[in-house]
Structure 1
Amino acid sequence: MTSELPSGWATATLGEIGRYLNGRGFKKSEWSTSGRPIIRIQNLTGSGSHFNYFNGNLADEHTARPGDLLISWAATLGVFVWAGPEAAVNQHIFKVESFIDHGFHRYLLEYSLDHLTRNTHGSGMVHITRGRFDQTPALIPPLAEQRRIAEALDNHFSRLGAATSGLDVAERGVGVLTDSLTARAVTGRLPVPPCNPRESATELRKKILTERSRKVPRRRATPAAPGAEFPAQIPDHWVIASIDELAANIEYGSSAKTDEQARETDVPVLRMGNLQAGAIDATKLKYLPATHEACQKLLLSDGDLLFNRTNSAELVGKSAVYRSSFGPMTFASYLIRCQFLPGVEPEWINLVINSPYGRKYVSAVASQQVGQANVNGTKLAAMPIPLPPTAEQHAILRELGLRRGQSTQLRQLTGQAKTRAAVLRRSLLSHAFAGKLVPQDPADEPASELLGRIKAERQPKPATSRRIGRQRLNHSSTRLKEEPSL
């Protein structure tokens, strides 16, 4: 906030310039398949498109209509203009009744919430208390200037939004291209230079099974057959094998309690959050003492594949390959380790698991338990894997790496452009609320007059009067907006 007020501006708090009505907590027993959609935070942020419905009587304060301002104040902080049909507002969402210009209020709330989020220390703000929200300071310009600011921001953000939408389309295109490349790679349709394999896939599978019989424990002596048909055609010289046929070892990780702070000799523990986009993300780790049993029996070896067996339905089945360059590591119980026999490239199995075909298999065999999806070791062992000769596995992975590198560069460029767009939006808001976006007009009625009328309107009424209702507030807001300039 600026220390010197622009001409005609006044200081206030968010609580003084609007009324913020918290949504209703709907019980699961109240959900319906018809009626008003229930707006949850994920419906506002775009992280979820599914709606539950409410088919009962609903108070006006819990009813959202097209054009209403809504604020998510838990998990994700954000300001949204409701564009759907008449709906029910769920808890953790404020419905806003503005006492100032509606458009200006929207941008002021966006700026204020962004300021609150960016100035919160620790692991991140997951909610904001009502008291802190209401007491958040705000600089208020004259009503006429509010309208000019809102109009200017609308124009700027309209152009910025069009550019950002183009970037979103480009990002989605990169994702589609990546999936297409992966699907072509694991079905032998990605052109690669001739690799002249020394042995056919049939011979490779026979050699792997022979080696497996010498290395695996008796309880796994007979490998599981593929648990499903592979849902695509593969080259004639390839074969289909189960993961169990190709792996010397399949085992679960440790359930030992870990520490966030590491001592000098502690060993990092990879968890499901450390598997991202088919690779190991070692930025957020927990630790076990090097003397712990898990660090002795479950220490990872170069080339071990880790599979995420329990997660949300969208994320279960992630996998990644551990490399010794990360240093000594072990792994947690929600992960399964697969150690493959000679002739099987772990990155090839990782590619198949993370391909559209691998995700399809995971989705088909996953069981649901209390909101979590689970794929146990038995189902993982039966996953069908298309197997080319070893030399061809390496050739395909090299070619795919080159093409993915180009896609990654494009994704990075679009990400950088979107970051610049977000910075520009923040800069425009900062200029707007410092009085630098549009000129001041000495003829405008000072904001102090507007705030005075709002304060008077909100004064407690005699005992015979009820709390100010929506109709009176709307009438008051209209009257304020129609007040002639001085």
Structure 2
Amino acid sequence: MTSKLPEGWARATLGEIGRYLNGRGFKKSEWSTSGRPIIRIQNLTGSGSRFNYFEGDLAEEHTARPGDLLISWAATLGVYIWPGPEGAVNQHIFKVESFIDQHFHRYLVEYSLDHLSRNMHGSGMVHITRGRFDKTPVAIPPIAEQRRIVEALDDHLSRLDVAVSGLELSERRERLLADSLVARAVTGRLLVESDGLGSGIELRDKILAERSRRVSRRRATPVPPGAEFPAGIPDHWVVVSVDELTSAIEYGTSTKTGELEQESDVPVLRMGNLQSGSIDVASLKYLPATHEDVHKLLLADGDLLFNRTNSAELVGKSAVYHAALGPMTFASYLIRCQFVSGVEPEWVNLVINSPYGRKYVSAVASQQVGQANVNGKKLAAMPIPLPSTAEQRAILAELGLRRDRSKQLRQLTNQVKDRAVALRRSMLAAALSGKLAPQDSNDEPASVLMERIKVQQVPSKVRRTRSIALQGANKSSTYVKEELPL
């Protein structure tokens, strides 16, 4: 806010312009399948649309009706107009009773939260208490000007919101297209022309002949596919098992790892290092270079790592190690697959991470306490559609080109969204400093409104002898301060 206020404006704090009623904590035993929906933060942010319900009696302060102003004050901070239906306000959400124009109040809180969050250090907003929120300074225009500002902001920001919604729709379509591209790739529907690239059937025969010479007697007879591949493939392809394509399948080291102590220490890849089909080296643990497991389990270029134990959603993710990352080994929750010649490791990785690979993993995973597991035998039996080596490479190259274009589109979309956020911020700043809507000298000064608000907050015994109504503002009631973390 500017240091000098426009004519007719007044200084105040967020705590002075409204009553903030904290939601109710609902026990799991109180959840129901009918009644009022329990409004949680994810229902406000859009990150979750599923509701739990509450059928019991509910205090008015915990009841949200269509049009009520709600503030989420934990984890994700934001301010929202509740669209309905009538619901029960969960803890970590404020129901707001505005002493000023409710829609102006909403914009004021949005701007204030954004300003506070950008001026915090460390972990940010989690350290802002209810007291700090209440004491946040704001500038209040006359009630009539509040409504003119809201009208101007609604006009400008609605068009901005439409543009952002269009960008978000494009992002959702792009994600669907990305999934579709992978599905088309692993079922032979991505390339326009594949004639002359050879046969997967011929490749399988060569692989099995080579495999019989290279693998140990124990694995001389490969495990066949443990399930049918759940989609059609070209006639010149064939479905094989992971085992038929590999010269070795083995578990990683169970030795306790630690932080880097010597420059020669070797990184140990763990399940968290497998992200979105690739290896992420942002967080690593190490073993001494002299450790016997480092020598025995040192990764080679093209080794595929498969996550055998994780949550049900994440078990079975995989990635390919490349020598450019430097010497590395791998932990026991990962399985290494080494392939015979003719097999592109990235092709198998693509299939495993595709919707069809995820379907197989989901079908064979065994559930343990809070974890899912897919052991080496089940991985060995995973069905893999096999085109020729040349066609594997052609499909991977085409998919790479399309992913590069998609990445460029995402980067451009993110840049435009960042600009939209900055534009929204600048519009709010202009509006809340009196630069977006005209001032009118005939408006009742905001100082008069603030005096009425102060009188309204006088304890009830005094207020009964001085019944003073807020003219032109929203319904209000006694304001009670309480110290809560925001």
- Say whether the fold is shared (TM-score over 0.5): yes
Does the alignment pair 1:232 with 2:231? Answer: yes
Can you list the C-alpha shifts for 1:302-350, whole angstroms capped at 9, x where unaligned?
Answer: 2232334455555444333222223334445554443333222111112
- Deviation of 1:210 after TM superposition, in Å, equals 5.0
Which residue number in structure 2 is paired with residue 18 of structure 1?
Answer: 18
1:100–1:143 Cα contact (<8 Å) kept: yes
Larger CA deviation: 304-313 vs 397-406: 304-313
CA deviation vs aligned residue, 1:192-222 (integer Å, no higher than 9, x gap): 5557456x43343344445555665677665
Q: Which residue of 1 aligns with 2:9?
A: 9
For structure 1, which segment, 437-446 or 420-429, has the greater mean C-alpha deviation from structure 2 after superposition? 437-446
TM-superposed deviation, 1:234:
0.8
| 2:395 matched residue in structure 1 | 396
1:277 aligns with 2:276: yes
1:318 aligns to what?
A: 317
What residue is the counterpart of 2:326 in the other structure?
327
**Residue number in structure 1 paired with 2:110:** 110
What residue is the counterpart of 1:167 in the other structure?
167
Asked whether 1:131 is paired with 2:115, we answer no
For 1:430, give the aligned amino acid: A
Does the aligned pair in 1 maintain the 2:452–2:469 contact within 8 Å?
no
Q: Equivalents in 1 of 2:337, 2:457: separation in Å?
A: 67
Give the letter for the 2:114 counterpart: D
Superposed CA RMSD in Å reads: 3.2
CA 1:208–1:161 in structure 2 vs 1: closer, same or farther (change >3 Å)?
same
SS in structure 2 of the partner of residue 450 of structure 1: helix
Q: Which residue of 2 aligns with 1:288?
A: 286
CA deviation after TM superposition for structure 1 residue 158, in Å = 0.8
Partner SS for 1:156: helix
Letter in 2 for 1:459: V
**Residue type at the aligned position of 1:431:** A
2:484 equivalent in structure 1: none
Pairs aligned (count): 471
Q: Percent identity?
A: 72
Separation in 1 of the partners of 2:370 and 2:39? 20
Provide the residue aligned with 2:140 in structure 1: 140
1:313 & 1:190 partners in 2: Cα distance? 30
Aligned in 2, Cα 1:312/1:249: closer, same or farther, shift over 3 Å?
closer
Which residue of 2 is the match for residue 468 of structure 1?
none
Distance (whole Å) between structure 2 residues aligned to residue 270 and residue 446 of structure 1? 66
Tell me how far apart the structure 1 counterparts of residues 52 and 302 of structure 2 sit (CA, whole Å): 45
Aligned-residue offset at 1:138: 2.0
Aligned partner letter, 1:170: S
Aligned to 2:151: 151
| Other-structure match for 1:85 | 85
1:244 aligns with 2:255: no
Aligned equivalents of 1:95 and 1:103: distance in 2?
14
Distance 1:376 1:25 in 2: 42
How far, CA to CA, are the matches of 2:316 and 2:457 in structure 1? 56
Q: Partner amino acid for 1:399?
A: E
Asked if 1:31 corresponds to 2:4, the answer is no
SS at match of 1:32: coil
| Aligned-partner SS, 1:164 | helix
1:45 equivalenced with 2:62 (yes/no): no
State the partner residue of 2:480. Answer: none
Moved more, 57-66 or 307-316: 307-316
Whole-Å Cα distance in 2 between the matches of residues 329 and 78 of structure 1?
43
Please list the CA deviations of residues 166-213 of structure 1 after superposition, one character each: whole Å capped at 9, or x if unmatched: 212222222222222221111112225557456x43343344445555
The CA distance in 1 between the partners of 2:40 and 2:332, in whole Å, is 32
CA distance in structure 2 between the aligned counterparts of 1:346 and 1:288, rounded to whole angstroms: 25
* Matched AA of 1:146: Q
Distance of 1:375 and 1:17 partners within structure 2: 57
Give the distance between the partners of 2:156 and 2:338, measured in 1 at CA: 55
Secondary structure of the corresponding residue to residue 233 of structure 1: coil
1:80 to partner: Cα distance: 1.7
Structure 2 Cα separation of the partners of residues 42 and 213 of structure 1: 55
- Distance of 1:14 and 1:464 partners within structure 2: 22
Under a length normalisation based on structure 2, what TM-score does the superposition of the two structures give?
0.86
Q: Quick check: 1:76–1:127 contact (8 Å CA) kept in 2?
A: no
**Structure 1 gap ranges (5+):** 466-471
Structure-1 residue corresponding to 2:182: 182
**More relative contact order in 1 or in 2 (CA 8 Å, sep 6+)?**
2
TM-score normalized with structure 1 length: 0.86
Residue 303 of structure 2: aligned partner = 304
